A and B are shown apart, each in its own frame.
Chain A
Amino acid sequence: SLRSVSVWGVGGRVEMTVSKFMAIQQALQPDWFQCLSDGEASCEEATSMKRARKSVDRSLLFLDNCLRLQEESEVLQKSVIIGVIEGGDVMEERLRSARETAKRPVGGFLLDGFQGNPATLDTRLRLLSSVTAELPEDKPRLVSGVSRPDEVLECIERGVDLFESFFPYQVTERGCALTFSFDYQPNPEETLLQQNGTQEEIKYVDQIKKIKTTGCNQEMTSFEINLKEKKYQEDFNPLVRGCSCYCCKNHTRAYIHHLLVTNELLAGVLLMMHNFEHYFGFFHSIREALKSDRLAQLKELIHRQVP
């Protein structure tokens, strides 16, 4: 309908109207919040021009209404609205969405619909470049659902600043640990050791495995190891040598393997700590690489780890 978006939550379906949405924001008092938008065009395989246009129109309408309600709310004066760029795969509509949203007093832009399977990412990357070209330099650009290290770098090269992602959690849920290297300027000894390490992992992951996780059928990537595998049963190394997370400082792959095999809760706790730290470390290295103009080197390192 014109006035609302259907949202499915723990209790069932909710008709999210602008006023309901803003009432929730008033209660939460967030620092930033993503505006209500129509992302349905982005969910479908092939978006029709008509559907894409509709998603842009409705999203702009929602934005204007939310901005108006925000003005009237004392409690939300300190909160910042993030405008959402819609338009599916239709270039014309994407550009229109970007230009129109940029005219509004939003604090940043969320580029919706760039998540999805890697096969479609190529076309979407072209859209992405065009969209960010229309956006002001001094406001952050967010993308959600893009999380593989190689894809992250592609988006960063095209002007994305923030990534909301589920990836470290998904990796944890499938009993895996992120192990990919992002150290693009290591010392020579480490290079040799790590190269041997990464060669090993790539050789192994020639067959990509489908591992069921809670509700989401996600494939294990080449950036991680699966601690359930028997080969880790007697591996007394940390998940990643040199990692300073609690898990790597205190525990071994053998212990994590045991916890997973015996279905112990601690497995997820320890893996989560590692996966966050590893992923944050990756982003730290991206920032360092950008500052010292070495992104190409980091990109090359990451691409060596993609099968």
Chain B
Amino acid sequence: MAAAASPASLDSAPRIMRLVAECSRSRARAGELRLPHGLVATPVFMPVGTQATMKGITAEQLDALGCRICLGNTYHLGLRPGPELIQKAHGLHGFMNWPHNLLTDSGGFQMVSLVSLSEVTEEGVRFRSPYDGDETLLSPEKSVQIQNALGSDIIMQLDDVVSSTVTGPRVEEAMYRSIRWLDRCIAAHRRPDKQNLFAIIQGGLDADLRATCLEEMTKRDVPGFAIGGLSGGESKAQFWKMVALSTSRLPKDKPRYLMGVGYATDLVVCVALGCDMFDCVFPTRTARFGSALVPTGNLQLKKKLFEKDFGPIDPECTCPTCQKHSRAFLHALLHSDNTAALHHLTVHNIAYQLQLMSAMRASIVEKRFPEFVRNFMGTMYGDPTLCPTWATEALASVGITLD
């Protein structure tokens, strides 16, 4: 087990994040990530392209929407098409022909989502493949090895993930194991100059466990930290407290990546709490159910009330779908056997998320973030005071009031 890094080596660790502006009230920050495949403005939302593709959207379309970093999934890609093939294709970038940045998660989340097919030991996670029944052991070393082959700009440690609804000694076990696995990942990482390994803070919903994890992991010399183990089935009240605790103990000069967060309200609150990076399948997934994201929530375009609505999804939105198509047209498409509507909606929903992050960033830079938050909540809930209690409390904790 690697010894904890000394303060001196911490100071020499490469800084991939440059802070551009900070909100004087809350913990919100605007910044810039300097990654091997270009600059990424933060706060940033990263769309999830699990299997080396963004659900029907071409790389060109994604680029045109302003996306500069998206996600790939180590577990899935490790099975199909496999790291050897991807390496032959000049890495994941080459394989999918994506010129900008990629972040790969470690496969840890599948431990929770595919729990019936997995078994965790100190060695790693044993998975039974749903495709051919073969067993694979995903160890910290193996995960890093696959991610090294994929060549993504940011790679994630393999962590011992437990569902946020789990309580008891398993949570503590997973937290300590995640620290040990972090050290194993750091040791196994062959390309620290080309790929940035992020740690993932665990500890469930237990403040003490999380605090311990934060204290230990921040001693390690990594370019960035993720806040993991949240965004599962936990209550929002517990959720925000763990996020706030985490950001209060994470270094300011390194990016904070809150995993699995994607609803608009959650993004706004968590930016206020000091998070810089987010990912979530929600916008792309909900598009495939005919749901379009708008500042007031969402439009279920399959519904009859949109049959003759000839306006765009959002008149303020600059995405190609809103420039070219009406709600009525999308409604008709959703009721046909043509899958085109799903593509149009995916484009729009990604655009919505990216435009939201852009708007937040601009407000932070222009020193009007609290006002932005008030307006956002007002639009979303009809009145800022009708914002959900947990969000009001979370914002209040960092000095933003809604009335």
Contact = CB atoms under 8 A, between A and B. Distances in A.
Interface of A: 10, 214, 233-234, 236, 246, 250-252, 254-255, 258-259, 261-262, 264-266, 268-270
Contact of A262 (B51, B336, B339): B51
Given A233-B85, A250-B60, A270-B58, A258 B342 contact: no
List the 4 shortest-distance A-B pairs measured between CB atoms, nearest first: A265-B56, A266-B53, A262-B51, A258-B81
A261 B88 CA distance: 18
A208 B53 CA distance: 32
A170 B234 CA distance: 47
Contact of A264 (B53, B60, B85, B95): B53
B54 to A, nearest CB: 8
Given A10-B337, A266-B56, A268-B339, 11 more contacts: A250-B58, A250-B60, A251-B97, A258-B51, A261-B80, A262-B76, A262-B80, A265-B55, A265-B339, A265-B342, A265-B343
15 contacts: A10-B335, A214-B337, A233-B81, A233-B85, A234-B85, A236-B89, A250-B59, A254-B81, A254-B89, A258-B95, A261-B80, A265-B339, A265-B342, A266-B54, A266-B57
Contacts of A266: 53-58
A252 B343 CA distance: 22
Contacts of A265: 53, 55-56, 339, 342-343
B343 A250 contact: no
B53 A254 contact: no
Interface of B: 51-60, 76, 80-81, 85, 88-89, 95-97, 335-337, 339, 342-343
A250 B343 CA distance: 19
Given A262-B80, A265-B343, A254 B57 contact: no
Contacts of B342: 265
Given A233-B81, A269-B58, A269-B343, A252 B89 contact: yes
Contacts of A258: 51-52, 80-81, 95
Contact of B58 (A10, A236, A246): A246
A10 B336 contact: yes
Contact of B85 (A214, A251, A254): A254
Contacts of B55: 264-266
Name the residue among B53, B97, B337 with the largest chain A CB count within 10 angstroms.
B53
A246 B60 contact: yes
